[in-house]
Structure 1
Amino acid sequence: MASSPRMKYDNPKATVDVELPDPLKEKRRVKYSTIVFSIAMVLSFVGIVKYEDANAPVVTSTLYTLRRSEKGREILGENIQFNSLMPWISGRLHSGRGVVDFSYTAVGDKSTATVHFNSRVDPELKKFVVLDWSLTTPDGVTTSLMDEAFLPFVPQNKEAPTSRQNY
């Protein structure tokens, strides 16, 4: 007795005896969930972008240089750091385009100040030139750090500028 091969769809289709819920029935809940999700996504995006800005090499370089600066320690005191765990870096950080212009708030043992750094690529030299590197205290006094021995993001005469090598 030879058996005939079973067809793939010989079984009867499954049926659902329970009525499926209508997702649009609770419009208020759907709107609320969509709004909460959208706000969470926007806040996450802003947090990621600001985290990347705070960890940019030029920003960390300015903070490191500020810690070494005599004028910076005189104004802010010791233990110079960002004013918060997630600092707000305002301005432009386009080192690839040759434009670096940003500010952030730094705090030390003595005081708080806004750090401003502005640098552009000189078209002839093809190197960054620092235009402004200063501290502004809450009472409005601005102190230039341009006459310091070391400027962030700009190599000294003995140092080679940072560049990407093609390997």
Structure 2
Amino acid sequence: MMLRLVTKGLPKVTPSAAKAVLVRGSLLHSFSTSARFNNSVAEDEAKIVLKDKNRPLRIDRELPDPTTERRKRIAGFLLFSVAIGSALSLIFNYEKTESPIISNTLYYIRRSPATKNILGESIEFDGIIPWVYGELNSVKGRINITFYIKGDKNVTGTVRLVADRNTHDEEFLIHEWSVTAAGQKIDLLAENTKTPI
């Protein structure tokens, strides 16, 4: 009975009133926290004393010189450019050496009696890295290439192929297809009825 009487004597607290009390408490806490922060900032600013308030604050430190080590940067850029250019040249040359035109040319050269008489058997590209000089553009119809070959007689020969065509539907017109080795020039166009293109 006593518990009931005490409960009846207390005022009723609604949910909205309880929520308002909680909001007021949180606002008071945030206000007190911000006030303490502002007081600490004001104390720190009071400790900073400028000798001359008219002059701006500066740091006595030397700025980096952009012209230092200029030669190293230029040398690095040149080396990078040379490396990129060499890589691109190797890629383009590899595409030339793997072209069907080069493969067919080597096939007919290996079957040429006059060429085998001078260079011998096992005719391949001369050098560690096969290199095809000149333009080899079958799409535009322009071929003007030169490359070096060697057989088992250790005699180096120079292959030259010059051809062109006006349209894509036409066949290539060969102007020169020859092998020069040991002071002799072999006309492969006259020796073969078929062409490598």
Task: Normalising by structure 2, report the TM-score.
Answer: 0.59
Decide which structure has the larger Cα Rg and report it. Answer: 2
CA distance in 2, matches of 1:112, 1:54: 18
The one of 152, 157, 160 equivalent to 1:116 is 160
CA distance in 1, matches of 2:105, 2:84: 31
**Which consecutive unaligned segments of at least 5 residues does structure 1 have?**
4-18, 154-167
Which aligned segments of 4 or more residues in structure 1 are displaced greater than 4 angstroms?
none
Aligned ranges 1:93-112 → 2 under 5 Å: 93-110=136-153, 111-112=155-156
Matched with 1:72 is 115
CA distance in 1, matches of 2:81, 2:162: 35
**Which consecutive unaligned segments of at least 5 residues does structure 2 have?**
1-21, 27-60
> For 1:112-153, what per-residue CA distance to the aligned partner results, in whole angstroms no more than 9, with x for missing partners?
110111222266x821232221111143x2111122243211
Matched with 2:105 is 62
Matched with 1:28 is 71
CA distance in 2, matches of 1:23, 1:75: 66
Matched with 1:148 is 192
> For 1:53-92, what per-residue CA distance to the aligned partner results, in whole angstroms no more than 9, with x for missing partners?
2222211221122112222212210010000232231222
How many percent identity over aligned positions? 30
Matched with 1:11 is none
The one of 62, 67, 81 equivalent to 2:124 is 81
Bigger helix share: 2
Matched with 2:30 is none
CA distance in 1, matches of 2:65, 2:96: 41
Amino acid at match of 1:70: P
Query: Cα 1:22–1:121, aligned 2, differ >3 Å: closer, same or farther?
Result: same
8 Å Cα contact 2:115/2:186 also seen in 1? no
Q: Secondary structure at the match of 2:118?
A: helix
Once the two structures are TM-superposed, the CA of residue 47 in structure 1 deviates from its matched residue by 1.7
CA distance in 1, matches of 2:79, 2:64: 21
Amino acid at match of 2:118: I
For the pair 1:126 / 2:170, whether they are aligned, the reply is yes
Bigger strand share: 1
Task: Report how many aligned residue pairs link the two structures.
Answer: 136
CA distance in 2, matches of 1:23, 1:95: 53
How well do the aligned residues superpose, as a CA RMSD in angstroms?
A: 2.7
Task: Normalising by structure 1, report the TM-score.
Answer: 0.68
8 Å Cα contact 2:118/2:182 also seen in 1? no
